[in-house]
Structure 1
Amino acid sequence: MTREYDKLVRDRIPAVIEETGERPVTHVADDAEYARRLREKLDEEVREYREDSDPGELADVLEVVHALRELEGLTADELDAIRAEKAERRGRFEDRIVLERVE
């Protein structure tokens, strides 16, 4: 039975599919398609995490963030430095502040 997916998947997924006796049809994305599909994957993983709050889904979000970071040419330390600088300048989310409006 054919199932359509048309989405970016983790590197080992085709092998996992073959282990079940099925045949995956794949292609390797060029740079532009890869960037677009990573952004789509980020939306997908965030949506899945929002739906069930599964820590595994949160880990998937982080995996996509790391792939995007690499695509942007940033090291983990560089991205963390950007995050830390922004947290220093604008704060974190520790105080749970909800901005209702500005009058």
Structure 2
Amino acid sequence: MQFNKLVRDKIPEIIEKDGRTPKYHIADDAEYERELLRKLKEEVDEYLENPSPEEMIDILEVIISIYGVKDYDKNKLEELRVKKCQERGGFFNRIILDETN
């Protein structure tokens, strides 16, 4: 069975315990970043098909990995998120913009 996709760190071990032999490689920086973005889309699509806490956790895990690749500071991101929320608001009021004139 062919996959060619980024998987969680323990997946090769789980496959081996299942009696199968995984073939894999370790991504270089460019491939890792590209595959994280592809994985983010995959996980969002899965969440849209099945909105569950488990699928939300998968999205969060990918985003946390992207923090590391981009060398983003989690606290700085939260600071920027709060600032943007103060300036432009969040999505809490459920506002749907229908049109402008």
Displacement after TM superposition at 1:80 (Å): 1.0
Moved over 3 A (4+): none
Aligned to 1:23: 21
Alignment match, 1:38: 36
Could you tell which deviates more after superposition, 79-88 or 62-71? 79-88
The percent of aligned pairs where both chains have the same amino acid is 43
> After the TM superposition, which of the residue ranges 72-81 and 45-54 deviates more from structure 2?
72-81
Q: 1:66 corresponds to which letter in structure 2?
A: I
Q: Given the two structures, how large is their TM-score scaled by the length of structure 1?
A: 0.94
- Tell me the distance in 2 between the aligned counterparts of 1:40 and 1:58: 16
What CA RMSD, in Å, does the superposition of the two structures yield over aligned residues?
0.8
Number of equivalenced pairs: 101
Q: TM-score, normalised by structure 2?
A: 0.96
The residue number in structure 2 matching 1:54 is 52
The CA distance in 2 between the partners of 1:43 and 1:70, in whole Å, is 18
Say whether the 8 Å CA contact 1:69–1:79 is kept in structure 2: no
User: 5+ residue gaps in structure 2?
Assistant: none
Question: What are the Cα deviations for residues 50-101 of structure 1, in whole angstroms up to 9, with x where unaligned?
Answer: 1010110000000000000111111221111121111111110010011122
SS at match of 1:11: coil
Unaligned 5+ segments in structure 1 are none
Distance in 2 (alpha carbons) for counterparts of 1:72 and 1:88: 25
**What is the letter of the counterpart of residue 44 of structure 1?**
E
Q: Give the whole-Å Cα distance in 2 for the aligned partners of 1:24 and 1:79.
A: 36
Distance 1:78 1:28 in 2: 29
